[in-house]
Structure 1
Amino acid sequence: MTVTTSPEALRQRAYDALAAARARTALLTDCVDDGELTAQHSPLMSPLVWDLAHIPNQEEQWLLRAVGGRAALWPEIDPLYDAFQHPRATRPSLPLLSPREARAYAAEVRDRVLDLLGAARLEGDPLVDAAFAFGMVAQHEQQHDETMLITHQLRRGPAALSAPEPPRPADDAAGLPAEVRVPGGPFTMGTSHDEEPWALDNERPGHVRSVPAFFIDTVPVTCGAYRRFVDDGGYRDPRWWAPEGWAQIRRHGIGAPLFWRYEGGQWLRRRFGVVEPVPDDEPVLHVSWYEADAYARWAGRRLPTEAEWEKAARYDPVSGRSRRYPWGDAEPTPDHANLGQRHLRPAPAGAYPAGASPLGVRQLIGDVWEWTASDFLPYPGFVAFPYREYSEVFFGPGHKVLRGGSFAVAPVACRGTFRNWDLPVRRQIFAGFRTARDAG
């Protein structure tokens, strides 16, 4: 599908994306006091106030300076909010802007950006063509919103956020097949600027990839299924673990997903300040790549490769083309997927039948990020754009690919080609998985 949009429609899309991201940033930061904003709730994460100023600093650098050619508003703070200069654990020691100063800075930058958006030519230069830079900045803010939501999950104390429960499956999810066969052969993986103007550099270029036939789980692995692995002694048996994973769980005494604890004869979990029984029918969450890989081995299966995941999510066997999303080319709605922090948990396995792929695989978009077996590597013909530090510096065997997005991901930052990556030890992220097996 090639996206052709008028300048007026592009401007409105960019305006809406920027406004939605800023509203979510406010929701995540206005719900706690200044003490909570400046505290570091975990050495794994920045203080919320760092994100509160980093977001407009990046917006200023890319839109006001790079696109608009404007002078820097506050150049001396650039080093403070450079994510590559300062690891998260050390950011509380920096002379950061106060919450009041960060909010005032963000408001000033946004006012000037909206003036720029109203006058900018959205064609020609690759940075502005189809409003790419504006879309990139909106996606960046939403990605930090997800990071801030992770910080909310890690913080102690009473809940600061609330949201309605996600929908139950609209049909008989219990009758779904356990797995779906995906035919072998070629398909188009990735995308292009013409097809997906706001796609980021690691999603490009589109290229033909071929995979043998395979089976993939119809739904993500549930807490109930994962609990059987835990109860069967999965965390005490080195047979299931990659050597680095076995060393990691032994070193840290890990025996269950993050935030789980066994108490009073049942498994409980802490979720955004609330302690509750672990729901058996919900996709498992807060597991590392090593835990996902160990479960898959225990179950006699494996994690899907990134190419297998994308073929299951996008390939239409009738037309032979790759869709933007599992359900088609239309933008996601609340009927398709659990996205955008509408809910503060994954929906039960089997939900969102309207979001199923042509082959019948469900919940490929939203609910939980899904670990794949693949290292984060460039596609053939990859070109870094607009800066190496977005993707290129992370390529290699140190990072594993996650696909599909979680309930914490905004629609603007989630599509069938979107690639996420992280270290295989990461557990605080909203990650789960599904398994696969060869078709034989």
Structure 2
Amino acid sequence: MKGEKGPDEKPVEVKLPKVFGIRPGVYLSVIYALVVIALLFVLLLLPGIKNPGEKVTIDSLPPGAAVLLDGRYIGATPLTDFIKKGSHSLILKKKGYQFDEQELITGGRLFASLFIPKKSHHEIQYRVVDSDEVFADLFSQLSGYALIDTYRENYQAPPLITPVFSDMVKIGTLSTEDLYDMLYRLTPNISNETILHDFYHAFILLKKHDGIEFASEREGLSLLIQEAAEATGVDPGLLALSFGKEEKPEAIRLNYPDMNHAGGTILSDEPRPEPSSLNLGGIRFASVSGGSFMAGDPSTTGPTLPFDRAARTSLPIKASVSGFYMATREVTVGDYRAFLRDHPEWIPEKRDDLMASGVADEEYLSDWAAGGKFHDLPDDTPLSGVSWFAAQAFCQWLEDTLPASMRDSWEVRLPSETEWELAALRNGTPRAVFADTEAQVLPARFERQGKLGIADLEGNLWEWTANWYLPLDRIYQASGVALDLPKGWKGAERVVRGGSWANRSDLVSIYEKASQEPQWCTPFLGFRPIIAAKPTGQ
């Protein structure tokens, strides 16, 4: 049967031979022991011999400093990393702070370093060498997050304000009075509940440092609004409305008789600059008379709820503008070709260098180059695909061609928002190029010129302006306060006006305000320069 042994079957015995007269039981035990010893050596001793070092933790006050070890970036503080045994150069870098290079000497553990490495902790405190640079960097970061009115649950702005002020209090370089001053300079970017919460907690931190505490958040916010209004000159009612803490906007309107005038109302006129037109670099400039007017949407008579981005940007404000000259058309491909002949650093082939410098992106003049050669675009094609920085460089180049009689007192630059809007008001509303009319960018033509002879302020291409987009800039202007950023401070995006061929005409008007990062280049955005009197004392 299956499984039964036959009569001739015998069990098989396996015997290991002796080796050098040593019985198998002995030499197998020795082999097993050697394997265990080798394994222990590999795990417990070899790492400490082959790669000696220690696990180093580097903290800094404030955190977020770049760590360079022997000239190589290894991360940002707080940082934990394995560093080989020896003497190393340690440098920490952070804007506005200074840290002297120091020697970092690391040791190591021979036994079990793979499992129980030697550890050390280094906490390093900076010296503040340029507090203004610290706060300028904070303002710029905050401006990016301030572009959003409401955050989703899965995407929130990180706390930016409170950590900086907490670090500054600990370091103790600045007085509390100076810290309050810096805090209130951030006010133009307090555009949503998340940033307001961060702003408020930094305020509470400073008050606690002064030994002041509040019975309720309402009490603390009330004092914050009062002190911020006093520091900035902004009306406290408008500030409370912007912070979402005012529920009666009609009461605020009573404080502003100018708000009885609708946006788009000319309040006073100044004579037009003479002569009535100029020609510079092949571009005709039309004279635009100055004066005061109500900037903002005519359909809006004052602050409304919710006081969101749309309500803030359409808020009517009284603006005063001196006379200037504006290009009667957008800068064209032909104009820019002339600029590139004098400034080859801006040619499309230099795009990588421009991107590395942060003054353009990968779309810079993307319509111009194909296979390394220029497209044969007609000279009168309105120029698009240029950054704000490129537009600035063009204006500076054009300024060098001003007549000798104008060079001391006039400049060529991008228009401010209010200059652009006043020119559009005085020019009227001629036929425009939008998605529901032409749906493509077109050269300037006589039939699209307005009363001043200016074409395509509405439609065709969005146009760069000189202004940073700051969410609360209108409430500053409505309060009669000029919002001038300190030198070196900047926002995240520049204001663009006018709409483009890709927009529907019923969705964009001369009062519409949008924004773009200054290095961005798109097929929907161009620019036109103005010639304006230099500021007094310049």
Give the alignment's TM-score, normalised by structure 1.
0.45
Q: Larger relative CO (CA 8 A, sep 6+): 1 or 2?
A: 1
Structure with the higher helix share, 1 or 2: 1
